[in-house]
Amino acid sequence: MSRFFRGISILVILAFSAISIAEEVSKEQIKGLDEQVQDIKKDVLGISAELNLLEEKLLYPSNTQISLFVSVSEKDKFRLDSVEIELDGKAVAHHIYSFKELEALQAGGMQRIYTGNVRTGEHELKVGFAGQSIAGNEHRKVDTYSFRKGAAPGLIEIRLSGPGVNTKSIEFKDW
Amino acid sequence: MHGKIFRLAVLLFVTHSAIAGEKERLELKDPYFGEALYYAHQGEHFDAISRLDTELKQYYGVDEPQLDSLYFHINEAEFSVGDFELSYRMHRRAGRAIQAVIEGNVDPAVRNEAIFRLARIYFQKEQNVNALHTIERIEGDLPSDIVNDVAFLKGQIYMVNGKFAEAEKIFQSLENAKSHEGFAAYNLGVSRLAQEKEEQGISSLAKAGQVSGKDRAVLAIKDKANLTLGSRLLEKGELQAATQYLERVRLDGPFSNRALLGLGWAEVKTEHYDRALVPWSILAKRNVTDQSVQEAMLGVPYSYGKLGLYGKSALNYGRALDAIGTELDKLDSSVKSIKEGKFLKALVREEIKKDRNWVIRLRELEDTPETYYLMSLMASHDFQSSLQNYLDLEQLRKRLESWDENYNSYEDMIALRRQYYEPLLPGIDAQFRKLDSVIRLRLEQRDRLDARLQSMLVAPRPEFLATAPERIAGEAIAKLEKRIGKEQLRAKPDVAHRIDRLKGYLHWNIHTEYDERFTQAFQNLYALDKDIVRLKEIYGSFVRTRQAATQSYEGYDEQIRRLRIKTRNALGTVETLMARQGHMLEVMAVNQLVQRRQRLEESQVKARFAMAESYDRATMSQSQPPEVKAPDATSPAAENGSEKSQSAGQDE
């Protein structure tokens, strides 16, 4: 029994020594700091939005701006592996998709794969993609699209579909 | 008890909202909104908010927003930005944005959805009374896809405000809703137990423990229901029933350790020590940083002792002591490493965060004692949110640093453009001015021709359409007439006759060919118009290009200067906040580990006593017949607080 009490007294001493060195963090401190973090996030987001507009004006003026967006058809769940894009014969984008990116596309997101500058007038896009059907079969397609770039910014959506869908594998939409 | 139940319900909300978040795909009419969704679906909330903020800024800045493609998504965009802000842990801004929607002139269904979202923010921030007052403001129509979500949230809010009877009614109505199956039954069970409707509560929890589905969240709620029910029955002494529910908890699920521990206790309570050894032996081999595992490590020798196998008991206590000793060393090196600042460095390792299970990977890294206990630290909400803030601040710091570097590149680019365009533009402008005056003159001429032709439609003027040779001939005849003079012409009638014939010839041609010439004149004007359209296109294109040339280097200096100051100020603030947040994390981690150390030391002391006792008994048993009963002081329950272990299900 005496061993038991000795054990308890050691524990009490240990507990007190631990308390004496511990620095406490209060709920108020956590909340206060959290609010400051929220404030700085707001400030940085403000800078980011301003910077987006500046970059757009500086790097991609509206009369020459062209943006290409990739989306996938919601009708089937093929696995998109990669996309390659040529604009007027020049390779401008090549992207290999992670699962996370593919899931984001399948959930309805659109990826801005390229933003650049072109003259007003006629242009040609060549898009190729590689993927796999649900059954695991390889699925590769290439298609071209001609469009006219006017004075306003050009926005073109490239919609990709798997082999199971009764539509074209690559559809273009000039917004 | 109620407090524990409330905490459970709150935790459940997070799990459930992940399921409820899966909505039908939106038909997109604005690619930039789609881009924001693309980022949001990947958890890149900063980029999602930034994109959408930029779009909203442009939308509200245009004169005719109804012509903007975001017009079709404006309500979704406003809500989405609030959602993204919530996900980015910006509750205050999200709340304000949603409040603005509620106070705006919007459709009642949209307003109700906004109220629902605001109530959810209050609920998540544990502002329970505000959440209650807010959710009760919902009146009338709701968008069909959120009807069940609203009801579920209302039930949860009632629970945290102690209104269990009201909560029970709501969860009862949701029991058969496929999207909330399991979750509604679980909360129904908890609210019934809170009203002391024991039998009904148990039956609801049992139902929640048997829902079908392979989704991770559904499997987790099944486990949780079975663990809660098993622990509750264990407390009540209904050991057989408790065992039945605890056995249903998956062996590889997040609640498995506590279920195994409970199973062992159920057997110990019925004095089936040999059976208790089965779950506890499995548990004792698991990751020793877990508290249930540490408890099982003492439970195994305790059971051997009760079975009279004192030698084996002593050996197992010895193993437990070794493990505890190793664990204490690990804790010491963890604390030391954290105090040396290595913990914060490990948290921001880029290569680790590319992995979805980065918290687990961190723990498994060699020679990084600072992260051994990260998983268990993550169980604390305060630690988790502080860690997230720290990681967010690190992300902000990297962005700000990269922007600060970009400003230099922009300035270089602007300087190069200025260098190229400035010497060229005066010459081009002078040339353009000349061309511009010629173009204007020609355009005026075209307009005069058009006006004249239009007037000739009303009052025909054939002489206007005379050809150049006809005009020359007419002038020559007139001159001849003048030179001969009127007197002479009267004197020479043959000459006068000839002149009249010539004039008549001209007159005949001009008047008889008038219609044809008039049509031809219009055709020529149309042809001219085509050229003028092309001319205007080239003119417009030149003007735009000329403007773009100036705009490519003019007017940025002030904007970049302002942005640079803002960026540097923000960077300073971020670094200060990171230091404070980092220190807070270190303190929280060290405090946790010190507490854990204390508990382990308690176990160590008790295990030493128990081991000594087991050795004594083993020695005695060699000379005497074995005693089955061991002293209570060696019970791991007495050592580690069995009550706490048994009610693990409610002790989240």
CA distance B106 to B515: 64
Facing residue for B41 by CB, picked from A50, A63, A104: A104
Is the confidence at residue B637, as pLDDT, over 50? no
Which site among A58, A64, A73 would you substitute to test the B interface, given the most B Cβ atoms closer than 10 Å to its Cβ?
Answer: A58
Model confidence over A160-172: pLDDT tens digits?
988 766 678 899 9
Measured in angstroms, the CA of A154 and the nearest CA of chain B are apart by: 12
Least confident of A51-55, B230-234, B279-283, B613-617: B613-617
Is the confidence at residue B600, as pLDDT, over 90? no
Q: Does B596 touch chain A (CB under 8 A)?
A: no
Q: Using the beta-carbon criterion (under 8 Å), do A58 and B403 form an inter-chain contact?
A: no
What is the pLDDT, as a whole number, of residue A33? 93
Strands A154-160 and A65-72: parallel
Measured in angstroms, the CA of A140 and the nearest CA of chain B are apart by: 23
Helix (H) or strand (E) holding A142: strand A138-149
What is the pLDDT, as a whole number, of residue B551? 83
Task: Return the half-sphere exposure (C-beta side, CA atoms, 13 A cut-off) of residue B58.
Answer: 21
The 3-state DSSP composition of chain A as helix, strand, coil percent (nearest 5) reads 35, 40, 25
What is the pLDDT, as a whole number, of residue B358? 58
Is the confidence at residue B268, as pLDDT, over 50? yes
Measured in angstroms, the CA of B223 and the nearest CA of chain A are apart by: 28
Averaged pLDDT, B334-361: 71
Q: Both tokens of residue B589?
A: 């981690």
Is the confidence at residue B165, as pLDDT, over 80? yes
pLDDT bracket for residue B369 (50, 70, 90): low
Is the confidence at residue B407, as pLDDT, over 90? yes
Which site among A21, A28, A45 would you substitute to test the B interface, given the most B Cβ atoms closer than 10 Å to its Cβ?
Answer: A45
Q: Using the beta-carbon criterion (under 8 Å), do A54 and B26 form an inter-chain contact?
A: no
CA distance B234 to B213: 27
Q: Chains A and B: how many Cβ contacts under 8 Å? A: 188
B544 or B445, greater pLDDT: B445
Please name the residues between 377 and 436 in chain B that touch chain A, using a CB distance below 8 Å: 382, 385-386, 389, 392-393, 396, 399-400, 403, 410, 413-414
pLDDT bracket for residue B443 (50, 70, 90): very high
Is the confidence at residue B151, as pLDDT, over 50? yes
Please name the residues between 66 and 95 in chain B that touch chain A, using a CB distance below 8 Å: 69, 88-93
Is the confidence at residue B50, as pLDDT, over 80? yes
Is the confidence at residue B630, as pLDDT, over 70? no
What is the pLDDT, as a whole number, of residue B513? 92
Pick from A99-108, B169-178, B254-263, B569-578 the range whose average pLDDT is largest.
Answer: B569-578
Is the confidence at residue B326, as pLDDT, over 60? yes
Least confident of B350-364, B391-405, B592-606: B350-364
Q: Using the beta-carbon criterion (under 8 Å), do B598 and A35 form an inter-chain contact?
A: no
| Residue B176, phi then psi, degrees to nearest 5 | -95, 0
Facing residue for A25 by CB, picked from B28, B400, B588: B588
The verdict on pTM exceeding 0.95 is no
| A128 contacts: CB under 8 Å, gap ≥ 6 | A83, A84, A85, A140, A141, A142, A143
Averaged pLDDT, B455-472: 91
High-pLDDT (> 90) share of chain B, %:
29
Can you give B580-641 as a three-state secondary structure string?
Answer: HHHHHHHHHHHHHHHHHHHHHHHHHHHHHHHHHHHHHHHHHHHHCCCCCCCCHHHCHHHHHC
What is the pLDDT, as a whole number, of residue A90? 94
Facing residue for A41 by CB, picked from B88, B385, B598: B88
B347 or B286, greater pLDDT: B286
List, edge to edge, every strand of the sheet that includes A90-96.
A90-96, A79-87, A121-132, A138-149
Measured in angstroms, the CA of A89 and the nearest CA of chain B are apart by: 24
pLDDT bracket for residue B570 (50, 70, 90): very high
CA distance B532 to B144: 57
How many residues are present in chain A? 175
Averaged pLDDT, B266-288: 88
Model confidence over B57-107: pLDDT tens digits?
888 888 787 777 788 788 788 878 888 888 888 888 888 777 777 887 778
| A12 contacts: CB under 8 Å, gap ≥ 6 | none
Q: Using the beta-carbon criterion (under 8 Å), do B57 and A151 form an inter-chain contact?
A: no
Is the confidence at residue B182, as pLDDT, over 60? yes
The ipTM value here is 0.86
Least confident of A14-18, B158-162, B579-583: A14-18
Please name the residues between 184 and 223 in chain B that touch chain A, using a CB distance below 8 Å: none
Model confidence over B186-219: pLDDT tens digits?
999 999 988 888 888 888 888 888 888 777 888 8
Model confidence over A95-123: pLDDT tens digits?
999 989 999 999 889 999 999 999 888 99
Model confidence over B118-131: pLDDT tens digits?
898 888 878 889 89
What is the pLDDT, as a whole number, of residue A12? 40
Measured in angstroms, the CA of A13 and the nearest CA of chain B are apart by: 11
pLDDT bracket for residue B154 (50, 70, 90): very high
Q: Both tokens of residue B650?
A: 């409610």
Least confident of B6-15, B182-191, B320-329, B624-633: B6-15
Facing residue for B548 by CB, picked from A4, A14, A61: A61
Please name the residues between 486 and 545 in chain B that touch chain A, using a CB distance below 8 Å: 540-541, 544-545
What is the pLDDT, as a whole number, of residue B360? 57
Mean pLDDT of chain B: 83
Measured in angstroms, the CA of A78 and the nearest CA of chain B are apart by: 17
Least confident of A114-118, B18-22, B32-36: B18-22
Model confidence over B544-564: pLDDT tens digits?
888 888 888 888 999 999 999
Is the confidence at residue B164, as pLDDT, over 60? yes
Q: Using the beta-carbon criterion (under 8 Å), do B31 and A110 form an inter-chain contact?
A: yes
What is the pLDDT, as a whole number, of residue A21? 43
Model confidence over A35-87: pLDDT tens digits?
999 999 999 999 999 999 898 888 898 888 999 999 998 766 788 999 999 99
Strands A65-72 and A111-117: antiparallel
What is the pLDDT, as a whole number, of residue B623? 66
pLDDT bracket for residue B641 (50, 70, 90): very low
A34 class by beta-carbon count within 10 Å (0-12 exposed, 13-18 middle, 19+ buried): buried
What is the pLDDT, as a whole number, of residue B368? 63
What is the pLDDT, as a whole number, of residue B355? 56
Is the confidence at residue B335, as pLDDT, over 90? no
What is the pLDDT, as a whole number, of residue B610? 83
What is the pLDDT, as a whole number, of residue B239? 85
Q: How far is CA B354 from CA B280, B349, B387, B407, in A?
A: 36, 10, 17, 29
Model confidence over B492-537: pLDDT tens digits?
888 889 889 999 999 999 999 999 999 999 999 999 999 999 988 8
Mean pLDDT of chain A: 83
